[in-house]
Chains A and B, each alone.
Chain A
Amino acid sequence: MWNSFGFEFINFYFIPGLVLGCIYALGAIGITLTFSILRFANFAHGETMMTGAYLTWTVMAICSGVLGFAVHPLVAAVPATLLVVLLFLVTDRYFYKPFRQADTIKVVMASFGMMLIIRSAVQVIWGPNQLTFVPGIAKPNAYLKDWSGSIDFLLLIPNKHLFIFVGTIAFMMALSYLLNKTRIGKAMRAVSDSPDLAHVTGINVDQVIRATWIVGGACAMAAGVFLAMDIQMLETTMGFRMLLPMFAAAILGGIGKPYGAVLGGLVIGLAEELSAYPWIGDGPLLSPGYKTGVAFAIMVVMLIVRPQGLFKGRSF
């Protein structure tokens, strides 16, 4: 049973789907937080992921080229995250803050402009061509391979995927702690609930907005680095391509529901990968080229059937 069906399904469809789902989930958290607290759909979110990956690559390049030692992407991501968060806070102060009282559509358009600005800036600095993030073929984790092989349940999971799983779980736990146990996290939920009430309660809404950018930025950053680790290369359109599935994940989970966004991300990621499994006959059910279409279809169906999402978020 395992050898004929399960092995191929788990290793070549389910695990990659889960990896993709983790990346979508982390990205969707930022989108859903921005949507519920700052009240606009942030089109520049994918570009943040992309910038984070480029900055991480740069830190790695500086370490190996100038300082003479190689660092793991997850280590290099730490200083890169600080830079991205700083960038976020500066753009919020000088770009988004003047729009605070403006109509939502104006802010959305502004974020669209920010998306183009960021991508162009990255193309100017790093060039428009693909860059290799981590060279070589990712081999399956040997220990896991031997152990799972010995119980006749062979798993071929490269280290990069294990890092992505562990990293995503760590982020979820940190986020859950932040939102439920800390003062600023509870205030973020309060502002998401009702900005007007938060205002007359005396909550410092500006501080909450800054916290939102920091949390959303850190999650986007992780998503970007994980994506680069997974596909092992960088290109300036990598973030934009994630935008639709991430929005689909946020909507699926319910706007304003971070846990919903996580669940939505996993569902979309799995659905995209599993749609290419040969469920009927020998060929893939759907050509992998239609992956994004799957996310789009789920989003459209969800908006028609249950616009408030699985977790009863805000509907518009």
Chain B
Amino acid sequence: MSKPILSLNSLRAGYGQTEILHDLSMFVQPNEIVAVIGPNGAGKSTAIKSVLGLLNISQGSVELHGEVITNTPAAKVVELGISYVPQNQNVFVNLSVKENLEMGAWTRPIGIPERLNDMYALFPDLAEKRNQTAGSLSGGQRQMVAMAKALMVDAKILLLDEPTAGLSPKYRSEIFETIQKIKNTGVPVLIVEQNAKQALAVSDRGYVLVDGANRHTGTGVDLLADREIARMFLGGGH
């Protein structure tokens, strides 16, 4: 096992007095896609938000490359190379595609033209729509903008919060394909997903979260094959 890029160690965290994560541990290694699945309210999105310093961590630690970054403010976390795509409102709708990407590079303002070209190569759809406002794009294209925007900082790791929520099956597959492409460029991806089957199918490893703690862990393939998990979380048995 190689050293993890990002690790969450026995986290207790929540909003104000309400604790949502009770004892959560997970990690992401280089060159892997890690999926976090589980029922609604299990704390999947909360797990990601805890990394960004968006809620209060009372116990445990978040480490990036072995360095503790627990409760670091979001702007700083982004600067450190952790990129995050929220589930909703993840693009600036009144800004053009190009401007969205430029904003993504706020913490790393050098070499923007080159990185813009990299992104247009990775997301060819966006290249031709670069001067359109993000608000005029379809849901799937917006998701592409959001991911490209997050990758503009030479991300060390990409965190995606339900990237396929509300998308058509066609776009869903396209997003999962893109996530694999992103992994192949050397950026590991941590993805929280409702579409558990598809997510696990592209993931190297997965975590099943229940009640703010990880219940099961395994490779994507193993989790998919597990009867109990299938029955409980993947919508019906095989």
A residues with a Cβ closer than 8 A to B are 183, 186-187, 189-190, 192-194, 196-205
- Chain A nearest CB from B88 CB (Å) reads 9
Whether the Cβ atoms of B78 and A190 lie closer than 8 Å is no
Interface SS, B side: loop
Total contacting residues, chain B, CB less than 8 A: 25
- Bound CA span A190–B94, Å: 8
Whether the Cβ atoms of B89 and A196 lie closer than 8 Å is yes
B103 on the A face (CB < 8 A): yes
- Chain A nearest CB from B130 CB (Å) reads 14
B139 on the A face (CB < 8 A): no
Whether the Cβ atoms of A201 and B99 lie closer than 8 Å is no
B92-131 CB mask vs A (1 if < 8 Å, else 0) is: 1111000100111011010000000000000000000000
B153 on the A face (CB < 8 A): yes
Chain B residues in 8 Å Cβ range of A192:
94
Chain A residues in 8 Å Cβ range of B149:
201
- Bound CA span A204–B106, Å: 8
Given contacts A196-B89, A201-B78, A201-B104, 12 further A-B contacts (CB under 8 A): A186-B95, A187-B103, A187-B106, A190-B95, A194-B92, A196-B86, A197-B89, A197-B92, A200-B74, A200-B86, A202-B75, A202-B79
- Chain A nearest CB from B3 CB (Å) reads 25
- Bound CA span A205–B91, Å: 16
Chain B residues in 8 Å Cβ range of A201:
78, 103-104, 106, 149
- Chain A nearest CB from B193 CB (Å) reads 19
B residues with a Cβ closer than 8 A to A are 52, 54, 74-75, 77-79, 84, 86, 89-95, 99, 102-104, 106-107, 109, 149, 153
Q: Of A194, A196, A202, which contacts B107 at CB under 8 A? A: A202
- What are 26 A-B residue pairs whose CB atoms fall within 8 Å in the complex? A183-B106, A183-B109, A186-B99, A186-B102, A186-B103, A187-B103, A189-B92, A189-B94, A189-B99, A190-B103, A193-B92, A197-B86, A197-B89, A197-B91, A198-B92, A198-B103, A200-B52, A201-B106, A202-B74, A202-B77, A202-B78, A202-B153, A203-B75, A203-B103, A203-B106, A204-B106
Closest 3 CB pairs of A and B: A202-B78, A202-B107, A193-B92
Smallest CB gap from A186: residue in B = B99
- Bound CA span A186–B103, Å: 8
- Chain B nearest CB from A187 CB (Å) reads 7
User: Which residue of A194, A198, A202, A205 has the most chain B CB atoms within 10 A of its CB atom?
Assistant: A202
Whether the Cβ atoms of A190 and B74 lie closer than 8 Å is no
- Chain B nearest CB from A182 CB (Å) reads 11
Chain B residues in 8 Å Cβ range of A186:
95, 99, 102-103
Whether the Cβ atoms of B106 and A200 lie closer than 8 Å is no
- Chain B nearest CB from A13 CB (Å) reads 36
- Bound CA span A204–B74, Å: 10
- Chain A nearest CB from B112 CB (Å) reads 10
- Chain B nearest CB from A132 CB (Å) reads 45
User: Which residue of B75, B99, B104, B109 has the most chain A CB atoms within 10 A of its CB atom?
Assistant: B75
Chain B residues in 8 Å Cβ range of A203:
75, 103, 106
Chain B residues in 8 Å Cβ range of A183:
102, 106, 109
- Chain B nearest CB from A165 CB (Å) reads 29
Chain A residues in 8 Å Cβ range of B94:
189, 192-193
- Bound CA span A198–B99, Å: 13
Whether the Cβ atoms of B93 and A193 lie closer than 8 Å is yes
User: Which residue of A187, A194, A201, A205 has the most chain B CB atoms within 10 A of its CB atom?
Assistant: A201
